[in-house]
Amino acid sequence: MATTSSDSRRRLVIVESPAKAKTIAGYLGEGYDVEASVGHIRDLPQPSELPTDMKKGPFGKFAVDVEHGFEPYYVVDPDKKKKVAELRRLLKDADELYLATDEDREGEAIAWHLLEALQPKVPVHRMVFHEITREALQRALTNTRDLDDRLVDAQETRRILDRLYGYELSPVLWRKIRQGLSAGRVQSVATRLVVERERERMAFRSASYWDLTGTFAPEADAEAQFAARLRSVDGTRVATGGDFDDRGQLKTANLVHLDQPAAVALREALVEAPVQVSSVDEKPYTRRPAAPFTTSTLQQEASRKLRFTARHTMRVAQSLYENGFITYMRTDSTVLSSEALGAARSQAAELYGPEYVPASPRLYASKSKNAQEAHEAVRPAGDRFRTPAQVSGQLRGDDFRLYELIWKRTVASQMADARGSTASVRLQATATDGRVAEFGASGTVITFRGFLAAYEEGRDEQRGEDRDAERRLPAMSVGDALGTRGIEADGHETSPPPRFTEASLVKALEERGIGRPSTYASTISTISDRGYVTTRGNALVPSWLAFAVTRLLEEHFPRLVDYDFTAAMEGDLDKIAGGDQDRVEWLQRFYFGDQQGIEGLKGLADDLDEIDARQVSTVELGEGVVVRVGRYGPYVEVTGDDGQPQRATVPDDIAPDEMTVEKARELLTMSGDEGRTLGDDPVTGHQIVVKAGRYGPYVTELLPEPPPEPEPPADAKPKKKAAKKAAGPKPRTASLFKDMSPESVTLDDALRLLSLPRVVGADPQTGDEITAQNGRYGPYLKKGTDSRSLVAEDQLFTVTLDEALKIYAEPKRRGRAAQPPLKELGPDPVSGGQVSVKDGRFGPYVTDGEVNATLRKDDDPDTITIERAAELLADKRARGPVKKTAKRAPAKKAAAKKTTAKKATTKKTVAKKTTTKKATAER
């Protein structure tokens, strides 16, 4: 039931988003007009869009007067003028104004800008809440406060700082590297982190090592087999991957480094050796649940478990918050209110049993260096949480999946520890050559699952990670004899440091205290949109462009991309928000420097002659081979014996750590007009070559030069317009298949590729010709305008007319062709349909032919059972079909009006007129 007013007064409530306004209006009812500002209504204009009389004044460079207290000049966004007019109209009929924007720096700044733009004559109340429920809104209405000027100052300082940073440094990148690039306080540091990790991978040299893994069983229980790895030989530890440095050398000399011959010889000497237990070490095991979600940990877990990008996570969370399903999603806090603690504990007891709830509530302290904002952790909304089953009729798809994740984490955070025991055993065997080998194994036995019954936190990839501890070992005692079931010698290569994923990059930024968790999603989006990083699976791969930008900043503006300096800036901004630091004094010191000799931002970019554009855009690979970032993309270059440089384009699919000297020389061999010659086409006589292109290697034919055109007669009159040169025949080209390499491709391979497209036959009903072709998105069949994907590239040469007709007889699917099942599980107990495991566009899933259910992160396609598959299918049926919403027609763009604006005379003056362009050189 909606809240009703006890009098006839009208109250205007302003929030940020229309969805939030709609939800709140449903609770407040009559007497309240709830409207959305749709985010910020004012901002700093681009300097080029300032009024003519201001462009040469103190605001002309940044739209900020740096000489007089860093006074900003704000303008109403052109696309918000209509909204401001509407709010003013509603305000005329209102008796009170409630500013209900979010309770963080951005929300406080939006509220302040609304006050400045609307200039209300009625009482104003700052209304704050962290969840959109009836109870929370009732409390907010009766506990309003004044605007927090300190939060406004902190947001304004951050905005000015980003304007100064971006507008001073971005032009340097334009001049020295490429137009359209940007530098930013957080984005440049985030890019540097990704580039530094790639540099480590490029410098990495793998080392090979061998070890032994034995399978043993107690003589009293021959069925209880377990695996153990060789730990030492004659008391000296055997080297493993973690014992090698990134140069491929052992960190410690006193180790046994097994190669293949030594490992095989030791194996042969141990196969018949008696084995007994030399030690058993058993300890109690306890594991505590993870804290409730903060913004950062929510983004990390959604990336690991749901494969969401940070931006998508925040978009879905925003929708859940605005529709009253979760609390505010921008927070550093791990604190839960007393109501939430009670809700989580009671729900855990109801669903799992009272023994799964500890005697007292769990309290968590934030690990973030700069934790701030007086919010709760991200949790389900309300004083009693709705279970995923209870919201399944209201939420679908990603909304449901993220809500379920938040619900599980919150409930698990108030559950009991997981308990059990860990056991480590050592086994000893004397080889036939007299050497004493020691094998080791460890395992964990969970006797009480505790919070694991509801939720287990995901993990990022770690180097040298040993997950043997997840096993369960049979009962053993010192002196027990064991039977050897087999010993295997295995070879390994050390691995480079793993690339950052979105989850691990967010974690690294937060651990260093760089930026705010609420901005990480936009930061990662920015460095991706700017072309600084691309994704390969979940990994973030830096581009060569990122290498050039990072090197320029490191060598000429090192303080501005220093991790500690950037984190200290964040701490100073927090002090401004807390009232412990004056914003003008801090900006003065940051921009102009101070008396202690610390140089300010002003003037750092003045002397561009010191920056060698060629040098900062060069990455040396060795042996005189370099990668350069040019105007049209990266290329490899080497100076030949004749002193002339030879160049080759770097394909987009080659990551920086894959660009070795050998790979560069291979590209150089295939570059130019010649490429690498494969031979002559026996039919045409044309030379066939393999070349490197931007989109990967390809084969092509070299056509003979056309004969020169005859000279026109001397008395011929010149034509007014030159005739178009007749286009000659185009050479045949074809991309290599994925399993082909430029080094190994043969003339026969090339001729087969150039024979495509292949005519498969004609449809007997329509007479249309069916061809097999290779395209940008893989192999496919084409019949008229109807295309169907093929599963494998080899099918281009083998698919028959009957097979093609069968493919066309199936319903057309979007995306790739249907794949054969990975595994057949048996009949579903509900539908009776045969359940199979398949690989889909978004990962493996189970289906009974009618319902599809995606496997969860912990489900292994190879080991999933029919019981688990039936459970997933039943859960999917309970949620029902995903509702599709009609697409809205694109809004028409209003024509930009060029008008003038009055000069600002006081701090934070509202501009009356402006133009439409936005600044693009900031964070």
Q: Which of 96, 103, 97 is CA-nearest to residue 136?
A: 103
Query: 281 and 274 in contact (C-beta within 8 Å)?
Result: no
Q: What phi and psi values does residue 269 have, to the nearest 5 degrees?
A: -80, -15
Give the type of residue at 521: A
Task: State how far the Cα of 174 lies from the Cα of 185, in Å rounded to an integer.
Answer: 17
Task: Please enumerate in sequence order all residues whose Cβ is within 8 A of that of 104, keeping only pairs 6 or more positions apart, or say none.
Answer: 151, 328, 330, 373, 375, 518
**Catalytic residue chosen out of the listed positions 98, 328, 698, 780:** 328
At which residue do the structure tokens 């040299």 appear? Answer: 205
Q: What phi and psi values does residue 702 have, to the nearest 5 degrees?
A: -95, 115
Task: State how far the Cα of 456 lies from the Cα of 856, in Å rounded to an integer.
Answer: 12
Task: State how far the Cα of 817 lies from the Cα of 837, in Å rounded to an integer.
Answer: 16
Query: 169 and 564 in contact (C-beta within 8 Å)?
Result: no
Task: State how far the Cα of 882 lies from the Cα of 429, in Å rounded to an integer.
Answer: 60
Task: State how far the Cα of 507 lies from the Cα of 491, in Å rounded to an integer.
Answer: 33
Angle (nearest 5°) at CA 662 between 659 and 667: 75
Q: Is the backbone peptide bond immediately before 757 cis, with ω within 30 degrees of 0? A: yes
Give the type of residue at 332: D
What dihedral do alpha carbons 860, 392, 877, 351 form, nearest 10°? 60
Task: State how far the Cα of 770 lies from the Cα of 312, in Å rounded to an integer.
Answer: 41
Task: Give the tokens for residue 26.
Answer: 């449903």
Task: State how far the Cα of 393 lies from the Cα of 590, in Å rounded to an integer.
Answer: 53
Task: Give the tokens for residue 769.
Answer: 């010709």
Catalytic residue status for 352: no
Q: Which of 496, 467, 354, 327 is CA-nearest to residue 410?
A: 327
Give the type of residue at 749: D
Task: Give the tokens for residue 645.
Answer: 């440089």
β-strand pairing of 633-639 with 625-630: antiparallel
The DSSP code for 902 is P
Handedness of CA 224, 230, 236, 238 (dihedral sign): negative
Q: For 675-698, what is the HEC assignment?
A: CEEEEECCCCCCEEEEEEECCEEE
Backbone region of residue 891 per phi and psi (left: phi > 0; alpha: psi in -120 to 50; beta: other values): beta
Which amino acids are annotated catalytic?
328
